[in-house]
Structure 1
Amino acid sequence: MGTSTPYGGPNGGTPLVPSWLNGGAGPAGGDEPGNTAPTPPNGTIPPAGDANRFRGARGNYSRFASSGGRDRASLGRAISGYVSSSSGGARQAAQRMGTSRASGARLANFLSTAAAQGPLEALRLFKLDHLAGRPIEEVFIGLMEQVCPIGGTIDEGISRDAFVETIDDLAGAGITDFDNMTSEQLQTVFELYTTHTIEARLCNDIATKTIMLPANPQEAASVQKQLYEFILRGVADALAGPAKAVTALTSTQVQGFVDQVYEEAFAILRAMGEAEGDTK
């Protein structure tokens, strides 16, 4: 995970979910330094969260990182605690992903259009027809400006950095030809993006001060890899089954589908974390 916008972590006393954060429609990242939340629509400020709500997850992640990735039980406890205690449950954890969910919906819309109408028509509808026939990395770099435009908040940075990470992963996933992408490959793109956004959110919340704890570079790489693979498993399970095909969506179904995927992914991650945390 290579997000370029780390900070010291959110203040535990800030609201779990800002009242104006609804599916990414408004600005995101109001609980981070340098982000000013607008006045909520109903004129009220949501109650502050528990000032210590991140402590347990951060402590467990620190133990996992300090072990060089060997203490899997602490990784499980960190992730399950992050979802259940730090975020207030899977639904609220998903709601905190407002910008990523909005960007994910735009990406899913593009992918479903490519599946239903063909890659060239998807490019035309998204005003990217000048990229027809170009290498796949160029196509997705052009798409990035529409899916997750540059912004100044932490959440916007998470969304954009996750998209860059997804582009970097394409070749390794065997996705090299945009004009001939299969339905499975289109699904994989969405899976990778969703995984990277959750990974980046979690790292910004509980891991920014611990990611460099292993002194050995190989151990540091193992910590990073295990976190990513843990989250990828949860996202893959949330997307399993024909009913979860991104390529079968209509434009009216996209946002609800993405919201559901994030909530289910967090619920699965909590269950996986609890199972892992019970191993010792």
Structure 2
Amino acid sequence: MGTSTAYGGPGGGTPLVPSWLGESPATGEGGEANGVAPADGVSPPVAPNRPAIPASADPQRFSGARNSFTRFAGSGGTDRASLGRAVSRYVSTSSGGARQAAQRMGASRGAGARLLGFLADAQTRGVREALRSLDLESLAGRPIAEIFVGLADYICPGAGTVDEGIAREAYIETIIELTTEGLTDLSTFTPDQMQTVFELYATHAIEARICNDIGTKAVTMPTSAQAAHRVEAQLRDFIRGGVSDALTRARRDSPHLTPERIQSFVDTVYESAFAILQSLGDAEADQ
């Protein structure tokens, strides 16, 4: 969890989901702007039509999740109730619900769609053709880890922000896990193996997002390396269970995934995963 993108966590005064500049002011026919006709051929000054700045979120919204996770970490990974509370509070209070939590995964949702799109293309047209379409045909026939490393700049094109860093970090962690999952031959991937790759990626992305938001530097981890590893493994397994359930539901509802539907499919998986994680967390906390 203590990764290159980790930091002390947001202070809490920023909006739940950042708002960026939208469309420019509407301009009608004949040079009219915002419905105001020019007088004597001279257009009056028009104030820019910008979206309102969203209100700042509760600066304490991360404290509940952070405190619960600190108790879970202090237990060396044995306090499952605190783990459940930490994840549930992160989704419900820190993020404002599953939909808002999914929206915070901007770069990771885009990267996940590109990853899934490439895997689907490789299965449909073959690995060489899928790579050729990206001007990466020289990677054909190489070990799967080399192919995925070569795809890194396509899957995760940026790394200048925390959000982009999370997406790239999750992708690197996925590459590391490929062989341990028995995923060694991209040319023979089945739909279930494609799901496993995306499941790994989404799991690492959500884990990194939670840890960055809570602030790993603000959480006291066990001094024992074994206990710290157990804490990390428990959190990852918990998240992966939610992602796996979300993927199973999404595949049931969309058994035939077309290129045009991949992004909405990925968005649905992330939102569903956070909703499931909140429910699983509540169940753990009540035991």
Distance in 1 (CA, whole Å) between partners of 2:165 and 2:21 is 16
Secondary structure of 2:11's counterpart equals: coil
Distance in 2 (CA, whole Å) between partners of 1:98 and 1:21 is 16
Write the mapping of 1:169-208 to structure 2, written as runs, cut at 5 A: 169-208=177-216
Distance in 2 (CA, whole Å) between partners of 1:275 and 1:203 is 21
1:213 is the counterpart of 2:221: yes
- Unaligned stretches of 5+ in structure 2? 23-47
Alpha-carbon contact 1:195-1:231 (below 8 Å) kept: yes
- Unaligned stretches of 5+ in structure 1? 23-39
Alignment match of 1:45 (pick from 53, 68, 90): 53
Q: Residues 2 and 123 (structure 1 numbering): CA distance in 2 closer, same or farther, change over 3 Å? A: farther
How far off is 1:245 after superposition? 8.9
Secondary structure of 1:239's counterpart equals: helix
Alpha-carbon contact 2:6-2:215 (below 8 Å) kept: no
String of CA shifts for 1:217-239, please: whole Å, max 9, x gaps: 11101000000000000000000
How far off is 1:6 after superposition? 1.1
Distance in 2 (CA, whole Å) between partners of 1:42 and 1:230 is 41
Aligned residue identity for 2:18? P
Alignment match of 1:151 (pick from 150, 153, 159): 159
Alpha-carbon contact 1:2-1:165 (below 8 Å) kept: no
Cross-structure match for 1:13: 13
Q: Residues 251 and 151 (structure 1 numbering): CA distance in 2 closer, same or farther, change over 3 Å? A: same
Cross-structure match for 2:94: 86
TM-score, length basis structure 1:
0.88
String of CA shifts for 1:194-230, please: whole Å, max 9, x gaps: 1100000001111412555211111101000000000
Write the mapping of 1:32-111 to structure 2, written as runs, cut at 5 A: 42-111=50-119
Alignment match of 1:274 (pick from 236, 260, 282): 282
Cross-structure match for 2:150: 142
Cross-structure match for 2:138: 130
Aligned residue identity for 2:15? P
TM-score, length basis structure 2:
0.86
Alpha-carbon contact 1:3-1:158 (below 8 Å) kept: no
Distance in 2 (CA, whole Å) between partners of 1:207 and 1:112 is 35
Aligned residue identity for 2:20? W
Bigger Rg over Cα: 2
Alpha-carbon contact 1:16-1:92 (below 8 Å) kept: yes
How far off is 1:2 after superposition? 5.7
Cross-structure match for 1:235: 243
Q: Residues 215 and 77 (structure 1 numbering): CA distance in 2 closer, same or farther, change over 3 Å? A: same
Aligned residue identity for 2:216? T
Alpha-carbon contact 2:2-2:216 (below 8 Å) kept: no
Distance in 2 (CA, whole Å) between partners of 1:173 and 1:21 is 42
Alpha-carbon contact 2:9-2:218 (below 8 Å) kept: no
Distance in 2 (CA, whole Å) between partners of 1:221 and 1:201 is 18
